[in-house]
Amino acid sequence: MKQALVTGLTLTVPLLITVVVVSFIWGFIFGTLQPLTGTLQRVLGISGDTPEILLQIVSLLVVVVLVVIIGFLADSYSGAKAAEQRFDRAMGAIPGIGSVYQTFNEMSELVFDADTESFQEIKLVEFPTEGSYATGFVTAETPEDIQRQTGHEDMLTIYVPLAPNPLMGGYVLHVSPDRCIDVDMSVEEGLKTIMTSGVAIGDTDTVEAAPLEYSDSLPDGIVQAGWFSSGDRDDEEPSGDATSSAEDRQGEGS
């Protein structure tokens, strides 16, 4: 009886969640298209007896066709890039709306533009606590000013998105390369992992990060925390809290 219940839940819960999500998206889309549906009904002279679902589908098809036409014209027009930039600047100049538009415009380019190199590769970063690792996307090299202030060179800027929607938020981390773990996973596979909340994780190969060395030449009041990898280490691992151990070593050096 218990096994049958578990099996039944395993089969039905994903289906129910899918139905709920699709219903929510369906209602949101066609609720937004309601003004267009009414306009089409008046312009085309469609009678009031026409099923509402048919009007909604026609409205959605009209929007899809318009989007395709705009994309085709933008790709075929030689000055499309400059026109797009002018449009983005004009939208960004609108008080209040501009910041929101720019944020979602940049995020949409990251996800929907197939030619973008914004997400360069996948890394594992020890975040947010010691011993737990988060999937992150390398987006760029860290600005030199940040590297100079932190005392590290060749740092990476990594975006750690929140599941299941990477568009809704995440964390931007500036990390030294030796504190990251390489993962044999494509950007598409990484996005799929995030969007499915870790359900669609395949077999991956990882390259372990090297441990960081403690420094005895740090300025007063600054302690460099250690990096603990998940594998075996030949040298002796510090015991206790990493920060306390580093402080003890700093006191001995002084």
In a domain, 239, yes or no: no
| Alpha-carbon span 29 to 114, nearest angstrom | 24
In a domain, 192, yes or no: yes
106 with 125, same domain? no
Distant-in-sequence, close-in-space partners of 48: CB < 8 Å, separation ≥ 6:
41
Distant-in-sequence, close-in-space partners of 101: CB < 8 Å, separation ≥ 6:
88, 91, 92, 94
| Alpha-carbon span 48 to 1, nearest angstrom | 52
Model confidence, pTM: 0.42
106 with 21, same domain? yes
In a domain, 252, yes or no: no
146 with 99, same domain? no
9 with 53, same domain? yes
pLDDT in tens, 26-44: 788 778 877 877 787 777 7
How many domains does the chain fold into?
2
In a domain, 94, yes or no: yes
User: Percent of the chain having pLDDT more than 70?
Assistant: 70
| Alpha-carbon span 18 to 231, nearest angstrom | 39
84 with 134, same domain? no
Residue 3: per-residue pLDDT: 80
* Domain edge (last residue) among 77, 112, 147: 112
160 with 220, same domain? yes
In a domain, 185, yes or no: yes
57 with 90, same domain? yes
Nearest Cα to 105, choosing from 134, 84, 136? 84
Nearest Cα to 174, choosing from 123, 249, 209? 123
* Domain edge (last residue) among 92, 112, 132: 112
222 with 127, same domain? yes
Q: What is the DSSP code (8-state) at residue 114?
A: T
In a domain, 207, yes or no: yes
48 with 145, same domain? no
Identify the burial level of 5 via C-beta atoms within 10 angstroms of its C-beta, where 0-12 means exposed, 13-18 middle and 19 or more buried. exposed
97 with 125, same domain? no
| Residue 170: strand pairing partners | 161
Q: What is the mean pLDDT of each run of 10 residues along the chain (254 residues)?
A: 80 83 81 79 73 80 86 73 78 80 72 58 85 85 83 85 77 85 84 78 53 41 34 44 46 49
HEC profile for 146-212? HHHHHCCCCCEEEEEECCCCCCCCEEEEEECHHHEEEECCCHHHHHHHHHCCCCCCCCCCEECCCCC
* Domain edge (last residue) among 112, 147, 170: 112
Nearest Cα to 62, choosing from 84, 88, 87, 30? 30
Domain that holds residue 223: 121-230
In a domain, 248, yes or no: no
In a domain, 247, yes or no: no
55 with 37, same domain? yes
Residue 238: per-residue pLDDT: 43
Backbone angles phi, psi at 136, to 5 degrees: -130, 160
102 with 64, same domain? yes
